[in-house]
Amino acid sequence: MVSLSLGALLFILILGMPVGLAIIGATLLYYVTNNDVPTELVFQAFVTGIESFPLLAIPFFLLAGEIMNVSGMTKRLLNFADACVGHLTGGLGHVNVLTSLFMGGLSGSSNADAAAISKTLVPEMEQRGYSKSWSAALTATSSIIGPIIPPGIGLILFGLIAQVSIGQLFIGGILPGILLAVALMITVRIMAKKKGYRPSREKLATPKELWHSFVHAFWALLLPVVIVGGIRFGVVTTTEAAAMAVCYALFVGIIVYRSFKLEELFISLGGTVRVTGIIMLIVAAANTFGRMLSWEQVPQTLVGVMTNFSDNQYIILLIIMVFLLILGCFTEGTANLIIMTPILMPVVNQFGIDPVAFGVAMVINVTVGGATPPLGTMMYTVCSINNVDIKDYTKQVWPFLVAIICVLVLITYVPSIVTFLPDLIG
């Protein structure tokens, strides 16, 4: 029966149906055709899947990001990034990457970061002589940084499903996020030299200019520090930190920057509700799917298959990594994370793989698919906003993807890169 449901899920996804509805349809097929399992369980699993207090962190963090984007904090971060790296070869390309690194702490969502930078920076890059398709490809790949910089939504979902400390995941994502930014900036420099892209400013910013731009962006840059610090020192839980982030964003937008009007709150709420609805539908549907897999002992079977195939954890990690990269090309990253985490965690535990390091690597892995053809969500976001042809985008994106995958391999096989800060802070 489970094979029939898995086949139905694949078929429905190929037809282009939304991921949440596809999972529900395939799971319903299992419960309806299996006389040994009461059909009522599917509805029970659907409801209990979102009856989780920590899940409240997701809409709160999304709302905080929406408020900070509407209040113009993105522009302040852009100016600070330009002051830091605008003098380098391919200056606006470096600004693009650094802004994604800064913005990851605001929205925690790759699609939100891709959309914000596409609207603000890509038109400026095109005006300065950068290829529009190259700029769009860089924007999509640099937005991969967002979900692993606190407060990454992907890390929250993984932590809830895998029963891993979200605070440790937040701290563990900091160094990999910086490594991703460095790898992309090296790639930008190499490609910019070949393409003849010039710096966005003639010379390095003076200390006065750098300080001025930092002061303007200070309140936006402080948010991730407040969130991680509050969780680390036990002042707030993850959910409370998310609610605090909303209050902080409102305070900064209305009182400090005076650029956010209360009527704009409805715009922010509308965007938050839309994204939250999609995520929660997938979470609820995936919970019913997970119940089905547990009933049929699919995770245990997978552990047995992999154990018989190899007892080397490095080979197992390679198989998982390649599988997730291929899967990400065809299905949405959040859905992959929610579906595959309960399947893969027994394998991770069986082979003694550190769950925090695996969690960060897995979030990066499933997010990469959002920037890859044929079905990447960030790819479609940047291409639709900037009217870029998918074929032109595809030609430009590969060097950036290679850089991202190199970092992914590094943190997968050197887990201490992820665990160093959590272990240091305790």
SS (H, E, C) the chain: CHHHHHHHHHHHHHCCCCHHHHHHHHHHHHHHHCCCCCCHHHHHHHHHCCCCHHHHHHHHHHHHHHHHHHCCHHHHHHHHHHHHHCCCCCHHHHHHHHHHHHHHHHHCCHHHHHHHHHHHCHHHHHHCCCCHHHHHHHHHHHHHHHHHCCCCHHHHHHHHHHCCCHHHHHHHCHHHHHHHHHHHHHHHHHHHHHHCCCCCCCCCCCHHHHHHHHHHHHHHHHHHHHHHHHHHCCCCCHHHHHHHHHHHHHHHHHHHCCCCCCCHHHHHHHHHHHHHHHHHHHHHHHHHHHHHHHHCCHHHHHHHHHHHHCCCHHHHHHHHHHHHHHHHCCCCHHHHHHHHHHHHHHHHHHCCCCHHHHHHHHHHHHHHHHHCCCCCHHHHHHHHHHCCCHHHHHHHHHHHHHHHHHHHHHHHHCCHHHHHHHHHHC
pLDDT of residue 358: 94
Contact 404, 142 (CB under 8 A): no
Q: What is the average pLDDT value for the chain, to the nearest integer?
A: 81
Asked whether the bond before 374 is cis by omega within 30 degrees of 0, the reply is yes
More confident residue, 407 or 163: 407
**Rounded mean pLDDT, 65-73:** 77
* Residue 235 within any structural domain of the chain: yes
Q: In angstroms, what CA-CA distances link 27 with 34, 154, 299?
A: 11, 23, 16
Q: For residue range 128-145, list pLDDT tens digits in order.
A: 888 899 999 999 899 888
Look at residue 181 and tell me whether its pLDDT is greater than 90: yes
Task: Spell 35-63 as b/e; 16+ CB within 10 A means b.
Answer: eebeeeebeebbeebeeeeebbbbbbbbb
* Residue 29 within any structural domain of the chain: no
* Residue 280 within any structural domain of the chain: yes
What's the number of domains the chain is made of? 1
pLDDT of residue 357: 94
* Residue 14 within any structural domain of the chain: no
Indicate the range of 12-26, 60-74, 239-253 predicted with least confidence: 12-26
**Rounded mean pLDDT, 79-102:** 84
Note down the domain range covering 295: 38-425
Look at residue 407 and tell me whether its pLDDT is greater than 90: yes
* Residue 8 within any structural domain of the chain: no
pLDDT of residue 360: 94
Q: In angstroms, what CA-CA distances link 88 with 335, 366, 376?
A: 38, 31, 30
* Residue 31 within any structural domain of the chain: no
* Residue 17 within any structural domain of the chain: no
Look at residue 314 and tell me whether its pLDDT is greater than 80: yes
pLDDT of residue 200: 74
**Rounded mean pLDDT, 308-329:** 84
Where residue 409 falls among pLDDT bands split at 50, 70, 90? very high
Of 76-85, 164-173, 333-342, the range with the highest mean pLDDT is: 164-173
Look at residue 13 and tell me whether its pLDDT is greater than 80: no
Count of C-beta atoms within a 10 Å radius of residue 276: 17
pLDDT of residue 49: 65
Look at residue 157 and tell me whether its pLDDT is greater than 80: yes
More confident residue, 342 or 111: 342
More confident residue, 40 or 319: 319
**Rounded mean pLDDT, 331-346:** 80
pLDDT of residue 285: 75
**Rounded mean pLDDT, 112-137:** 82
* Residue 333 within any structural domain of the chain: yes
pLDDT of residue 375: 65
Look at residue 80 and tell me whether its pLDDT is greater than 90: no
Look at residue 362 and tell me whether its pLDDT is greater than 90: yes
